[in-house]
Structure 1
Amino acid sequence: MNLAVVLVSPKTPGNIGAAARAMLNMGASDLRIVAPRCDYLDAQAVAMAVHAADLLRGARLYPTLREALADRDVTVGTSARLRADLPAPRHPAQVRPLVRAAAAPALVFGPEETGLINSDLEQCQVTVRVPTAEYASLNLAQAVLLVCYEFLQAQDEPPAYDRKTATREEMEAMYGHLHETMQLIGYTDAVRARHTLRLWRALLDRALMSSAESRLFRGFLRQVQWKVEDAARKLPGEAGPERQADREA
């Protein structure tokens, strides 16, 4: 499976190395690190990686999560908390068919102290939570090991469906286009826009759009924008040819 593990702003070299080792244990090899706050090739990281040192050295660095997810078609965030305006986390086993059917899935893990923030989880189509006892906070490498195990140990299971979904870059571009259109037609304003867009993201991410479907939706948005702008040009008071001639007379 072409599974990427994305670590967002990790703080401790040892955690990064241990996460790489957990990936190797479970058969994942694509490590992506977003804005690390330490040297991910520090001696402690390499020591904790053990036999996964080559996997660690091959990690790719990205300045933003959006760039790290640009080529992924299904993105799974991790969280131990419920968030307002965001879908509740699901058990990893419930998400396994979705990940198995994807061509390029990604698992996203947040910083050690805080986990993923809301703006990170907005970029994920689904969120999972590892079931634990009352104390739910897991070490970063533990979380990587458990979630990778849930998805990669089921490799022999047939996927529930076979469908190539749009990349996250295509979906993010579509959401940017949707945001512009909502403001253009007065559907929302600057104060409510983020909350409203979260609701639309949740709805449209559940649809698992293909690339063609995301382009179809953006074509609809372009037509709406054109219609509004065309109507604005035709409003009374606009200087059309006849009205301009009347003024000059």
Structure 2
Amino acid sequence: MNLAVVLVSPKTPGNIGAAARAMLNMGARDLRIVAPRCYVLDPQALAMAVHAADLLRSARVYPTLREALADRDVSVGTSARIRADLPAPRHPSQVRPLVRAASAPALVFGPEETGLINSDLEQCQVTVRVPTGDYASLNLAQAVLLVCYEFLQAQDEAPAYDRKTATREEMEAMYGHLHETMQLIGYTDAVRARHTLRLWRAMLDRALMSSAESRLFRGFLRQVTWKVEDAAKRGTVSGRQATEQDAPGE
């Protein structure tokens, strides 16, 4: 499986190295690190990686999560908390068919102290939570090991879906276009826009759009924009004509 593991803003070199080792244990080899707060190849990281040192050295570093997920078609966030306006985390086994059928899935893990913030989880189609006891906080490497195990153990299962979905970059571009269109037609305002867009994201991500379908939706948005702008121009022209007709003659 072409599975990427994305670590968002990790703080401790040892945790990065241990996460790389956990990936190697489970057979995942694509490590992506977003805005790290330490040196990725610190001696402590290499020591904790043990035999996964080469995997760690090949890790790619990105400035933003959006760039790290750009070529992925399914992204799965991890969280132990319920967030307002965002779908509740699901058991990994419930999400396994979706990940198994994806061409380029990604698992996203947040910083050690806080986990993923809401703006990170918005970029994931689904969120999972590893079942634990009352104390739900897992070490970063433990979380990577458990979630990778949940998905990579199922490689022999038949996929539940049989079509390629749009990449996250295509979907993020579509959501940006949707946001602009909603503001243009007065569907939302600056105060309500984020909440409204989260609801649309949740609904459209469930649709698992293909690239062609995302382009189709953006074509609809372009037509809406054109109609609104054309109507505004016509209104301006009509207003000018009325002014000229009402103006007293020389």
- Normalising TM by the smaller chain, what interval? over 0.9
CA displacement 1:211-231 (0-9 Å, x = unmatched) = 000000000000001001111
Paired residue for 1:28? 28
1:148 Cα offset (Å): 0.1
Amino acid at match of 1:100: R
Does structure 1 residue 71 correspond to structure 2 residue 71?
yes
- What count of residue pairs does the alignment treat as equivalent? 248
Amino acid at match of 1:116: L
Paired residue for 2:139? 139
Amino acid at match of 2:187: Y
Does structure 1 residue 169 correspond to structure 2 residue 169?
yes
In structure 2, stretches of 5+ residues that fail to align are none
Paired residue for 2:206? 206
Q: SS of the counterpart of 1:235?
A: helix
Distance 1:110 1:173 in 2: 23
CA RMSD of aligned residues (A): 1.4
Matches within 5 A, 1:218-233: 218-233=218-233
Distance 2:238 2:53 in 1: 67
CA displacement 1:24-76 (0-9 Å, x = unmatched) = 00000000000000011000100000000000000000000000000000000
Matches within 5 A, 1:42-121: 42-121=42-121
Paired residue for 1:150? 150
Distance 1:201 1:185 in 2: 19
TM-score (norm 2): 0.96
1:93 Cα offset (Å): 0.5
1:161 Cα offset (Å): 1.7
Q: SS of the counterpart of 1:154?
A: coil
Distance 2:237 2:161 in 1: 56
In structure 1, stretches of 5+ residues that fail to align are none
Moved >4 Å (runs of 4+)? 236-240, 242-249
Distance 1:114 1:238 in 2: 56
Matches within 5 A, 1:234-249: 234-235=234-235, 238=238, 246=245
TM-score (norm 1): 0.96
